[in-house]
Structure 1
Amino acid sequence: MAIDPGLARRNAVLGGLDEDALAPLLPDLSETPLPAGQVLHEPGQAVNNVYLPLLGVVSVLADLGEDQVVETATIGREGMVGISVYLGADAPTERSLVQVPGRALSMTAEDFREHIADVDGPLATMLRRSAQALFTHVSRNAACNRVHTARQRAARWLLTTADRMDSPRFELTQHFLAQMLAVRRTSVSEVAQSLAEDGCITYTRGLITIIDRPRLQSHACTCYEAIRRATDAALAAR
């Protein structure tokens, strides 16, 4: 049975397609859960499926060796996991791992390549816009990790995750948050505690709840708004 168009449009890439462009994709899409910790793609290994998140957060991780893993970008419902296939690469250079559980629409890489054969078609156009937004995210993330404090970056990440989840409450472990912020777990505990003491969040047993979004946003670095504006502009471009 083909995926319902309304469900598909919850992903921004698919949501940017008109009815005629979306319809041929629906029979080749499958809804799939995204459990926390699931590895979707490994560096150097062929991509079998691409994923268009509906809910949840997937991290793109760089393994620096000596047990050092750093997040370089995150992907939610605004994008696609497996952009390397669109760019013509046989395999990604980084690992893609589910950080916040959710669900996605998946498609085999073989079917996906057939659908993007028309390089000037509407799907390819939306993927170019999504890739532009992702590149902005990666470059801004690198600068953010270099300049801004762990507290500022944590606030940014929590706000972005809430946007992608359509909820102020979501699951997140200290281990994953440490990877995202490129800090030790002890530093994560200190940051989470300080944001909780300031009345921004509660954090209990891996469950974060944003209780005062404006206050949390006041602690976030400027990268939150910059990335959000760039993503919205790229996906809305005509």
Structure 2
Amino acid sequence: MPAKSQPQPQPQQNHLLAALSPEVQCRLFPHLELVPLPLRAVLYESRRPMRHVYFPTDSIVSLQYVMENGASTAISVVGNEGLLGITLFLGGESTPSRSLVQSAGYAYRLPRARVKEEFNRHGQLLMLMLRYTQALITQVSQTAVCNRHHSIDQQLCRWLLLSMDRLSHGHLTMTQEFIANMLGVRREGVTQAASKLQQLGVISYSRGLIKVLDRSKLETLSCECYAAVKKETELLLNYLPQRPVITNTDAIPTVTLKTP
């Protein structure tokens, strides 16, 4: 029998779009375009013109700062809680960071002209976008502190938690090298950190497959940076659904970690 095709993602799978009133949705939804976001695809390149705003449905995009020597570090992650392209409605036409897909999926994109037109109505979209921008600024600031002051083990915990918060399907496929690039550390450091978490019973790690066994403990082992970001995000983005706590259960999110 032929495999069943997956249902097409809907705009309401993005929580910010779902929070809009029917009136605003009627103005915007006809102009939304569904686009696939393959792993490692670049949505925005540093200093290049931005033509669309993206609303992820089941994908995660990492905002990275790229140095002159090519080295990069993730400064934030964006998923179905928000959007990519805040500089378009803040007065800019480009961004200093690169937007790289870290978990493949889909997003709806909206032309910048439509975004600015709705934003300039000074209505609901403006308020939601400004609140989301504040939440994103908190994440960027806390990431900078975390990268400077906390261990690779804590950074990996924070990154796993942020990724799981933005996944609807509960799994993530990428190489150790890719995760190391996200954190701005050596690949060996990621391998050692994952091994420690396995020894503590927080995750299982076998043949490149990581399963989170105890989310509550993972949050405990993470530094205060994750809790600070989560608290501010839930305060500002009150449209987000409640996230389940995973503690020693078979129904667990899965992160696939492949060695290149």
- Alignment match of 1:94 (pick from 75, 79, 97): 97
Counterpart in the other structure of 2:164? 162
**77, 92, 95: which one pairs with 1:74?**
77
1:26 pairs with one of 15, 21, 29: 29
User: Secondary structure of 1:55's partner?
Assistant: coil
CA drift at 1:167 = 4.5
Measured in 2, the distance between the counterparts of 1:205 and 1:82 equals: 37
Count of paired positions: 231
For 1:174, the equivalent position in structure 2 comes to: 176
Which range moved further: 199-208 or 7-16? 199-208
Alignment of 1:205-216 (within 5 A): 207-216=209-218
Q: Which one of 143, 146, 151 corresponds to residue 144 of structure 1?
A: 146
Answering whether residue 12 of structure 2 is matched by residue 12 of structure 1, we say no
Alignment of 1:32-47 (within 5 A): 32-47=35-50
- Check the 8 A contact 2:28/2:114 in 1, yes or no: no
CA positional deviation for 1:90:
1.1
- Residue 215 of structure 1: CA displacement? 2.4
CA deviations over 1:59-115 (Å, ceiling 9, x no partner): 111111223111111111111111111111111111000011122111122322222
Q: Which residue pairs with 1:229 in the alignment?
A: 231
CA RMSD, Structure 1 to Structure 2 (Å) = 1.9
Structure 1: tracts of 5 or more residues without a match: 1-5
More moved, 93-102 vs 10-19: 10-19
8 Å CA contact retained: 2:77, 2:162: no
% identity of equivalent residues: 35
- Partner residue in 2 for 1:110: 113
Superposed displacement of residue 24, structure 1: 0.9
Report the secondary structure of 1:59's partner residue. strand
Runs of 5+ unmatched residues, structure 2: 1-8, 240-260
Alpha-carbon distance, 1:207 to partner: 4.6
Q: Structure 1 residue 133 and structure 2 residue 135: aligned? A: yes
C-alpha contact (below 8 Å) 1:8/1:15 kept by paired residues: yes
Q: Deviations over 1:165-212 (max 9, x none)?
A: 034432132122112222111111111122123222234566532122
**Correspondence 1:58 to 2:27:** no
Single out whichever of 64-73 and 38-47 deviates more from structure 2.
Answer: 64-73
